[in-house]
Structure 1
């Protein structure tokens, strides 16, 4: 029954009096909610003003967060990933200050996570989207190369698997510390995970960010590739999104985490150093890198392709025609088109005027329209021939001149919205890293940088001496590349070690297993030697004793006479 009707029936009050009570009660509720909102806004303002977010830019207000959070306050819901994020942030701050690396290896299962945990100088863990795509794909079990086309909960689910294992082994270690005085192992190393390109629009990015925070990732990285055009950073054919699109992803992620009240970290990754395609010309910050052709009377490639299809051309003929079209029609940026069509003096004046306009406008880019206006003023009698629509791909993608300049330009835009910047490279190059670091830190001196120590590189073919290889990670850290990772280390080690065992086992049987596995486990002190203890059998046994008050300690104990690991 309605509270006001009940009150009226009990005390026999008039309808007019009941309305007065109801109105006063409603005002009280409104006042209470307004007070709640004001308190929550103050909490968020204080939170955002803390050292954790001193470098973070937001385009929305605390009230925007409150409006979308619901009636639960910021202190009502706690996520363990935020605790891990605080740990990660402190590690990054300390290492950045001392110019020391926070380097790690990509893990693919709880086994590798536990072995990583025992290495004191490796303080974080990494979960790769490539590894998940190729080894464990959630609901579909359809393994494939890293095209970002797996269900978007695949990597969060792998994170959850690793994070739950971390917590299990942490509990086991804590019990051993209390009961057996064994040293504690830090199994709770913060997890950094691969969020690819966000797997969709703003709402999908927010759902993905929410999953990662719920499942245990202290930080994620988002790359500026197109959903549907995504490739592994070391494959060709990757398609970039406009700069503004990726900024929206970063903002969406931060908003989602602000709504949840977590401090998880965002890494903005750019693949523009290696990319040759971009999905749209909508953002003027990309215009100087979009390529066109100077033969403006040629048939667009996409139209020619349709004609070839109508003529039932073979795939070989189409490939040959595409190669011929692009060889005949040289791809150039607008600046390169200008240089080829004006005098040297005019071009130098054009470059100087561009620079002056950027300074005047206080920006580091010019739109195509602005560049056209400049050259028209300098060389009014010359009609610069340039068209970036003619060479577009059949999907509508524009040609893009990837490289360090594009990567720097984009990273400078991303930096205020992210906690770290990841430069994806073609080769391991310390000089390239120095140049990138210098440009970023001139404008954002406190930005932490990330480097992929990729297994896609043939490290032995890049001229490194043994000493240079040993020092590479530490030399990078001096340039501000604090977080460094061998993204697929776990996958490669898994393959190498198991192949070596299988190859020998087929002929040498148990000798090969004892020699390659058990003896090595004993030699290096690997706790997998006693895999029952490693899995937590004794921990569960201890819980059972508590529940049963010790009554079945002899009959149900996992460490009784049948416990074979007592042999070790």
Structure 2
């Protein structure tokens, strides 16, 4: 690790303590002003070295090392265990990218699934959807993925998995070290310390909430988190409709706040920036010029705003079906277009000879500029102002209509790239060509940038025309384009459901025959260690500890001759 902090000189009377704690000792008396200044200078230099480490190559920080250090307090900052796993994850990703291979995994919903995955999967994924639907903490009020559960929920699940990883690592290590070299050579070696990637949703609030959430994740054991550009309070699962995205600059602020919090902790946890703009068709605010080219408006003048029409109908006592009909009628009468599309239409009606050349000239002049600048350019070309309003069609909640699609997603990913370690394109269909186009456009500007792909169970994979060979090769083909991290976000949930549904149905008719055939025999056949669930849970490991500390006899051993697991 490159996180070791400089140790101070230690008084003689603390030498014994120093021998036990070789990194830091807190002074008994306040330092002098000169000493305080010297220590601050050293800490800033250490933070600058932290910033400059190759691990952060290409990462942009719009703040200084000194601004971080002054917010850390006087307590020495020591590495969290999660940073060890984060460094492991970073190395794993880089090795996979060099080989053109994927790091692919599944979402685990409990320690059982984590331990079984550890034999085959290199990382573990913790889903916010699963947390919302089956694992919610606090009130235990489970429900759909609207991001409305307590923000401690997913970090708590990460901590649960991380602590289970440590238990199973310890019992596995104990079992190996207690065995003879000959027996150990024949034992399967299992790495339970798999990096955990977790779902941070939208950050669950403003920037201070984002920072608290990131701190929880780092302390809980996460190696990486992903955060999406949806609106907190309007958040939906990436594969539901009605998604509201935030301005590009708002999500960048979330990423910067997240990095600042990690720097405060000297954590190397990775940040994954996800965009839902490929299918998100509402925008919370038009404040960012980067988004304005994708906002939809109407060119029909003299109309009441849609929100006013609906509000007046509600006030008059109109029913929900009547209000829905009014909304449909308004949007039908007011076709929505971007400002650029409005300009193109006006050019078609204008006396300008070379309309195509005029439009291309216009687009080149306004690329990346605000709508106010685009209006000025259009007026200069056409000789008149264009009526176009994005405010008239705003929703009741005040949201703007947005042109979802791959172009918007590429633009947003480009903006997020300097602040994130990996980029995630959330899609509405599993589309290799779309992913390839996205990745190549991003990598033209950010060579070597790594991507994430959600192999979502929300897709009906059998309905998308894939052959069996296509399905088998899909993740490897994606990996060639830089989609290094790939995950079936809810595989654990669905596999749990499928296995339980089959067992429940068979058990009702066949009794214990069903359990033996579907569970015990299968566990034995595939070498699943949960077959002996007492040993799996750590009973042998804890029994050895208790025997060590209490000099216990065989008669009090939990794994003695009376244990039923000796029958397996």
TM-score higher than 0.5 here? yes
Deviations 1:304-332 (A, max 9, x none): 01110121001110111111111111011
Taking the aligned partners of 2:201 and 2:362, their CA distance within structure 1 comes to: 35
Aligned to 2:242: 237
Taking the aligned partners of 1:157 and 1:351, their CA distance within structure 2 comes to: 54
Matches within 5 A, 1:70-109: 70-74=73-77, 77-109=78-110
Aligned to 1:294: 299
Q: Does the aligned pair in 2 maintain the 1:219–1:267 contact within 8 Å?
A: yes
The reply to whether residue 157 of structure 1 matches residue 159 of structure 2 is no
The reply to whether residue 357 of structure 1 matches residue 356 of structure 2 is no
Taking the aligned partners of 1:115 and 1:109, their CA distance within structure 2 comes to: 10
- Of residues 382-391 and 475-484 in structure 1, the stretch that sits farther from structure 2 once superposed is 382-391
Taking the aligned partners of 1:347 and 1:418, their CA distance within structure 2 comes to: 41
State the SS of the aligned residue for 1:217: coil
State the SS of the aligned residue for 1:312: coil
Taking the aligned partners of 1:272 and 1:347, their CA distance within structure 2 comes to: 31
Aligned-pair CA distance for 1:73: 2.9
Q: Does the aligned pair in 2 maintain the 1:276–1:399 contact within 8 Å?
A: yes
Aligned-pair CA distance for 1:123: 0.6
Q: Does the aligned pair in 2 maintain the 1:221–1:267 contact within 8 Å?
A: yes
Aligned-pair CA distance for 1:346: 6.2
State the SS of the aligned residue for 2:223: strand
Matches within 5 A, 1:447-486: 447-486=449-488
Aligned to 1:564: 564
Taking the aligned partners of 2:142 and 2:290, their CA distance within structure 1 comes to: 37
1:348 corresponds to which of 328, 341, 356: 356
Taking the aligned partners of 2:355 and 2:394, their CA distance within structure 1 comes to: 27
2:279 corresponds to which of 274, 278, 295: 274
TM-score normalised to structure 2 length: 0.92
Taking the aligned partners of 2:82 and 2:450, their CA distance within structure 1 comes to: 20
Q: Does the aligned pair in 1 maintain the 2:168–2:192 contact within 8 Å?
A: yes
Aligned-pair CA distance for 1:210: 0.2
The reply to whether residue 39 of structure 1 matches residue 42 of structure 2 is yes
Q: Does the aligned pair in 2 maintain the 1:353–1:374 contact within 8 Å?
A: no
Q: Does the aligned pair in 1 maintain the 2:158–2:221 contact within 8 Å?
A: yes
Aligned-pair CA distance for 1:357: 3.4
Q: Does the aligned pair in 1 maintain the 2:118–2:194 contact within 8 Å?
A: yes
State the SS of the aligned residue for 1:274: coil
Taking the aligned partners of 1:137 and 1:235, their CA distance within structure 2 comes to: 20
Taking the aligned partners of 1:327 and 1:393, their CA distance within structure 2 comes to: 15
Q: Does the aligned pair in 1 maintain the 2:375–2:385 contact within 8 Å?
A: no
Q: Does the aligned pair in 1 maintain the 2:215–2:262 contact within 8 Å?
A: yes
Deviations 1:465-491 (A, max 9, x none): 111110000000000001000000000
Taking the aligned partners of 1:346 and 1:133, their CA distance within structure 2 comes to: 56
Aligned to 1:305: 310
Taking the aligned partners of 1:35 and 1:546, their CA distance within structure 2 comes to: 48
Deviations 1:340-380 (A, max 9, x none): 2223856534543345436xxxxx51210111111111111
Taking the aligned partners of 1:139 and 1:295, their CA distance within structure 2 comes to: 50
Matches within 5 A, 1:531-542: 531-542=533-544
Q: Does the aligned pair in 2 maintain the 1:338–1:347 contact within 8 Å?
A: no
State the SS of the aligned residue for 1:342: helix
C-alpha spacing 1:328/1:355, structure 2 compared with 1 (3 Å): closer
State the SS of the aligned residue for 2:205: coil
Unaligned runs of 5+ in 1: 1-24, 359-363
Taking the aligned partners of 2:558 and 2:358, their CA distance within structure 1 comes to: 80
Unaligned runs of 5+ in 2: 1-28
Taking the aligned partners of 2:52 and 2:385, their CA distance within structure 1 comes to: 53
Aligned to 2:263: 258
Matches within 5 A, 1:43-442: 43-74=46-77, 77-119=78-120, 122-180=121-179, 181=184, 182-343=187-348, 347-357=355-365, 365-380=368-383, 382-442=384-444
State the SS of the aligned residue for 2:543: helix
Taking the aligned partners of 1:84 and 1:470, their CA distance within structure 2 comes to: 29
Taking the aligned partners of 1:73 and 1:348, their CA distance within structure 2 comes to: 64
Aligned-pair CA distance for 1:97: 1.6
Taking the aligned partners of 1:553 and 1:346, their CA distance within structure 2 comes to: 97
RMSD (Å), alpha carbons: 1.3
State the SS of the aligned residue for 2:486: strand
- Of residues 41-50 and 443-452 in structure 1, the stretch that sits farther from structure 2 once superposed is 41-50
State the SS of the aligned residue for 1:220: strand
Aligned residues: 531
Aligned-pair CA distance for 1:290: 0.4
State the SS of the aligned residue for 1:289: coil
Q: Does the aligned pair in 1 maintain the 2:362–2:378 contact within 8 Å?
A: no
Deviations 1:443-463 (A, max 9, x none): 001210000000000001111
Aligned-pair CA distance for 1:145: 0.4
Aligned-pair CA distance for 1:85: 0.3
Aligned-pair CA distance for 1:546: 1.4
Taking the aligned partners of 1:44 and 1:345, their CA distance within structure 2 comes to: 61
1:444 corresponds to which of 443, 446, 463: 446
C-alpha spacing 1:425/1:131, structure 2 compared with 1 (3 Å): same
Matches within 5 A, 1:545-560: 545-548=547-550, 551-560=551-560
State the SS of the aligned residue for 2:286: coil
TM-score normalised to structure 1 length: 0.92
Aligned-pair CA distance for 1:553: 2.9
